[in-house]
Amino acid sequence: MYDNTKSLVKNIMEMKIPKSNICLDMTLGNGNDSLNMLELNNSIKIYGFDIQKSCVDKIKALNIENIYAINDSHINFDKYVDSDIDFAIFNLGYLPGGDKSITTDYDTVIHTIEKLLCAIKIDALIVITFYPGHKSGLDESINVLEYLNTLDQKRYNVVKYEFVNQINNPPFVCVIERIK
Ligand SMILES: C[S@@+](CC[C@H](N)C(=O)[O-])C[C@H]1O[C@@H](n2cnc3c(N)ncnc32)[C@H](O)[C@@H]1O
């Protein structure tokens, strides 16, 4: 079973990444999600976005040829990747151990997902981890979920995974699958 959202996300990656070519890490941070994807398939191409130059520089310094670390907002992903996207991952909120005032913003996240829904392949997944345990994360989860609730069920499956017996608004995960 899963004991936290990280093991759940890892399990989703294990199902999807071996069959993927183009993957987007929408919140690169310290690069853990990108490195986990690469471990599952070393022939994928990963486009990783972060608005913090320090995060991007750190990943660039690793000199991994499959990871294109881009110092830009995820909303501009289509400047760098055309289409044919198999997998995209968002890990919302602020960078652990970093500047807590630099967080994702729900308006930008919603507009990015809107654009992504047209750019991903059929069968592609978008995985989003939410952190409603703090005020801005709670606002973000309420607003993004409200948007996800509106997606056409004939074109997208949208699943929410949450720990219903954990206290203090634990993190949860949503997965969008394009079916048509
Ligand atoms: C929770 S952290 C991500 C952790 C990361 N996935 C890892 O494995 O270390 C969220 C990251 O999103 C970044 N971020 C915030 N707004 C962004 C935006 N509009 N576009 C891209 N990255 C953004 C922050 O700078 C921060 O590094």
pTM of the model: 0.97
Whole-number pLDDT of residue 23: 98
Predicted confidence (pLDDT) per residue in 131-149, tens digit: 999 999 999 999 999 999 9
Q: Where does ligand 1 bind, in terms of residues with CB under 6 Å?
A: 27, 29-33, 49-52, 55, 73-74, 91, 93, 95, 102, 104, 108
What confidence score (pLDDT) does residue 140 get?
98
pLDDT at 2 over 80: no
Q: Do 163 and 120 touch, CB atoms closer than 8 A?
A: no
Distance CA 50, CA 91 (A): 11
pLDDT tens digits, one per residue of 51-87: 999 999 999 999 999 999 999 999 999 999 987 999 9
- φ, ψ of residue 127 to 5 degrees: the values are -115, 130
- Confidence at residue 104, expressed as pLDDT on a 0 to 100 scale: 98
Domain count for the chain, please give it.
1
Atom of ligand 1 nearest to the CA of 73: 20
The pLDDT value recorded for residue 3 is 80
Residue 82 in tokens: 């055309």
pLDDT in tens, 32-45: 999 999 999 999 99
Nearest residue CA, atom 18 of ligand 1? 73
What is the domain range of residue 173?
A: 5-178
pLDDT digit string, tens, across residues 69-79 = 999 999 999 99
Tokens of 95: 């960078």
β-bridge pairing 22-25 and 67-70: unpaired
Pick the residue whose CA is nearest to atom 23 on ligand 1: 50
Centre of ligand 1 from the C-alpha of residue 92, in Å: 7
The CATH number covering residue 113 comes to 3.40.50.150
